[in-house]
């Protein structure tokens, strides 16, 4: 009898508990539901926030959505941007500049290492994350950095700028990130051949058709001053030396020290001005003296800074992105040129595939014309599609209201493709066009290099960076994030991902969760933690050997990142 009463009591308690759990779950569901507002609602919500009408946030009606689209411009103008935030950024910027100048002036001191101050030391530490979920660490925590810190000071017997034997003019080529790497290499080359470097000219003829000059994109004076102990840099060839002998030279790609010391430096006997016709991949990745490698890092991560105008706008975008919380920067290389060049047409309509094929046929400098997109994709050579990226992010556990910054030019298929693929899983897709007003973006709009620089800044400062393809931008940002303290960078295993995703498509896996777990598994070692740069592919010879190496700027370890205290190795 007593025993029976006890079981009844237990049953009642169990029912109460079940009810309580259900209630909590329901509340949780509702609050998530409120959060998962589509983009256009979002700015509306902000507007309401500002106007202190926050009580009925969940009751956004369709009419309001429509009116919010119409008033988008006005709501954007208000949107998360009290003037004080702007002012704070500008003053932070100035403060950093002063800090940086003092550290730059004593950089020959080996005992004094620090992260350059113009990027924050730890992006997530700025935020007060109060609602840590159980998955928080898995999703956002940077990988262990095992005490690796920048070590870019030259060794004690490094001589300040050597006597110049002539002038090095540089014509850079490619988009922003290819030019960046080329400029840093040319600094090192100028040092090797004892040249005075004239501030490089940016590429105006490439695919990107941008008329920007060096000083529009980079801080020219800072570049010159920061390198003053390494290489003499001047703004232009001095006047009145027109009688000097000049030569235009294509430096051999992936060349080492002896090529520059012998073959190129011997040209000083005949010429006083050497003009490098191209800047990309002219210097080998490995087997250079440590002082030259460290100089490449000082050039790229300390001397080469964006112009004040770009830095200020970049910080503003970062600040607006942060107002949504921790965020992912997604480099979605799903742009027309990329797809046409690579022949990747998975998920496209027949007419889109035909359009891309035609572009490829008609572009003379793309040598390979017949490409089987299916084969390329299965080999992992295609950028992930927006849909595939969506599945990847879901598999990794990011919730549908995770703020995502799309770092890209125009997505092929436009906003509607983005909305119907990635947007159906993730509601907070942002971009510079959505975060800033037309008016604010206007100075950058017709300059693809400057627009790319804004994406670069937001990507560097993101809590998590994910590139959908391993191109120049992906490599540059990944390396810079390593340098700044191994910020979390997820490098998708594209080959593994497409195979697993195809399993879901074929229905071969009943439960998506199993596929998701495999996706998590193959990315455990792709989080951006410290490791040595990988060498050439086995069996590769000659140029191919150099080409197959991991790029210096993708991972400047071991030369520019050293372990502070090896005894604390984990």
Ligand X SMILES: *[C@@H]1O[C@H](CO)[C@@H](O)[C@H](O)[C@H]1NC(C)=O
Write out the residues near ligand X by the rule CB under 6 A.
Answer: 74, 77-78, 106, 109, 111-112, 128, 130, 162-163, 165, 193-194, 261, 265, 442, 445-446
In the complex with ligand X, which residue's Cβ is closer, 109 or 155? 109
DSSP run (H or E) holding 478 = helix 472-483
Return all residues near 198 (Cβ < 8 A) that are at least 6 apart.
Answer: 167, 168, 169, 170, 233, 234, 235, 236, 237
What's the min distance (Å) between Cβ of 114 and ligand X? 10
In the complex with ligand X, which residue's Cβ is closer, 74 or 525? 74
Query: What's the number of CA atoms in the CB half-sphere (13 Å) around residue 237?
Result: 18
What's the min distance (Å) between Cβ of 52 and ligand X? 12
In the complex with ligand X, which residue's Cβ is closer, 74 or 91? 74
Instruction: Give the pairing type, strands 148-150 and 561-563.
Output: antiparallel
In the complex with ligand X, which residue's Cβ is closer, 64 or 352? 64
What's the min distance (Å) between Cβ of 43 and ligand X? 11
What's the min distance (Å) between Cβ of 284 and ligand X? 17
What sections of 149-289 are H helices per DSSP? 176-192, 214-217, 220-226, 257-258
What's the min distance (Å) between Cβ of 26 and ligand X? 25
In the complex with ligand X, which residue's Cβ is closer, 252 or 374? 252
Tracing tokens 């009642």 back to the chain, one arrives at 12
In the complex with ligand X, which residue's Cβ is closer, 227 or 476? 227
Query: What's the number of CA atoms in the CB half-sphere (13 Å) around residue 269?
Result: 6
In the complex with ligand X, which residue's Cβ is closer, 106 or 372? 106
What's the min distance (Å) between Cβ of 266 and ligand X? 9
What's the min distance (Å) between Cβ of 157 and ligand X? 12
* 363-368-373 Cα angle (round to 5): 105
In the complex with ligand X, which residue's Cβ is closer, 210 or 219? 210
In the complex with ligand X, which residue's Cβ is closer, 54 or 109? 109
User: With contact defined as beta carbons under 8 Å apart, do 144 and 172 qualify?
Assistant: no
The distance in angstroms from the start CA to the end CA of the chain is 60
Supply φ then ψ for residue 385, to 5 degrees: -75, 160
What's the min distance (Å) between Cβ of 30 and ligand X? 23
Cis link prior to 558 (omega < 30° from 0)? yes
* 388-322-88 Cα angle (round to 5): 150
What's the min distance (Å) between Cβ of 504 and ligand X? 40
Let me know how many helices (H) and strands (E) the chain has, helices first: 24, 11
Tracing tokens 């195809």 back to the chain, one arrives at 502
What's the min distance (Å) between Cβ of 231 and ligand X? 11
In the complex with ligand X, which residue's Cβ is closer, 31 or 73? 73
C-alpha 28/C-alpha 14 separation (Å) is 21
User: With contact defined as beta carbons under 8 Å apart, do 330 and 389 qualify?
Assistant: yes
User: With contact defined as beta carbons under 8 Å apart, do 104 and 226 qualify?
Assistant: yes
C-alpha 344/C-alpha 563 separation (Å) is 41
Which one, of 491, 483, 476, 565, lies nearest residue 525 by Cα? 491
What's the min distance (Å) between Cβ of 261 and ligand X? 5
Bridge partners for 73 per DSSP: none
Torsion of the alpha carbons at 254, 256, 258 and 260, rounded to the nearest 10: 60
In the complex with ligand X, which residue's Cβ is closer, 112 or 513? 112
Bridge partners for 201 per DSSP: 171
């Amino acid at each position: 009898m007593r025993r029976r009463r006890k079981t009844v009591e237990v049953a009642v308690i169990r029912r109460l508990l079940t009810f309580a759990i259900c209630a909590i779950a329901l509340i949780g569901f509702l609050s998530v539901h409120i959060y998962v507002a589509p983009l256009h609602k979002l700015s509306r919500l902000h507007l309401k926030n500002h106007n202190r009408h926050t009580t009925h946030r969940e009751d956004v009606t369709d009419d309001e959505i429509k009116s919010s689209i119409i008033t988008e411009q006005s709501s954007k103008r208000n949107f998360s941007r009290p003037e004080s935030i702007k002012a704070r950024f500008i003053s932070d910027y100035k403060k950093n500049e002063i800090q940086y100048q003092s550290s730059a002036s004593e950089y020959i001191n080996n005992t004094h290492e620090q992260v350059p101050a113009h990027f924050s030391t730890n992006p997530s530490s700025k935020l007060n994350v109060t609602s840590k979920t159980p998955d928080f660490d898995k999703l956002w925590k940077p990988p262990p950095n095992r005490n690796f810190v920048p070590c870019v000071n030259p060794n004690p017997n490094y001589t300040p700028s050597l006597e110049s034997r002539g002038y090095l003019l540089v014509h850079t080529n490619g988009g922003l990130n290819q030019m960046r790497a080329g400029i840093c290499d040319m600094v090192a080359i100028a040092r090797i051949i004892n040249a005075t470097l004239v501030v490089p000219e940016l590429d105006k003829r490439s695919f990107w058709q941008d008329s920007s000059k060096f000083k529009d994109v980079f801080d020219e004076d800072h570049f010159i001053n920061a390198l003053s102990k390494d290489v003499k840099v001047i703004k232009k060839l001095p006047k009145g030396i027109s009688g000097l002998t000049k030569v235009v030279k294509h430096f051999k790609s992936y060349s080492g020290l002896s090529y520059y010391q012998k073959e190129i430096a011997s040209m000083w006997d005949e010429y006083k001005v050497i003009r490098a016709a191209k800047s990309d991949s002219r210097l080998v990745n490995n087997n250079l003296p440590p002082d030259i490698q460290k100089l490449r890092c000082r050039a790229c991560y300390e001397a080469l800074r964006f112009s004040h105008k770009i830095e200020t706008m970049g910080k503003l975008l970062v600040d607006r992105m942060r107002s949504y919380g921790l965020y992912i920067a997604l480099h979605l290389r799903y742009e027309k040129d990329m797809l046409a060049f690579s022949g990747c047409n998975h998920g496209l309509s027949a007419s889109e595939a035909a359009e891309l094929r035609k572009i490829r046929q008609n572009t003379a400098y793309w040598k390979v014309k017949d490409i089987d997109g299916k084969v390329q994709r299965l080999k992992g050579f295609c950028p992930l599609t927006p849909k595939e990226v969506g599945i990847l992010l879901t598999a990794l556990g990011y919730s549908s209201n995770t703020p995502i910054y799309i770092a890209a030019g125009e997505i092929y298929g436009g906003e509607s493709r983005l909305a119907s693929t990635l947007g159906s899983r993730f509601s907070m897709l942002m971009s510079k066009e959505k975060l800033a007003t037309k008016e604010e973006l206007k100075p950058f709009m017709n300059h693809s290099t400057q627009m790319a620089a804004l994406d670069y800044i937001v990507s560097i400062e993101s809590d998590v960076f994910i590139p959908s393809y391993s191109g120049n931008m992906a490599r540059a940002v990944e390396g810079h994030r390593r340098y700044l303290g191994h910020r979390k960078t997820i490098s998708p295993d594209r080959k593994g991902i497409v195979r697993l995703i195809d399993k879901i498509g074929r229905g071969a896996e009943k439960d998506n969760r199993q596929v998701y777990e495999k996706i998590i598994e193959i990315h455990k070692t792709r989080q951006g933690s410290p490791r040595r740069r990988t060498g050439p592919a086995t069996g590769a010879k000659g140029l191919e050997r150099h080409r197959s190496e991991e790029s210096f700027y993708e991972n400047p370890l071991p030369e520019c990142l050293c372990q502070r205290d090896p005894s604390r190795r984990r």
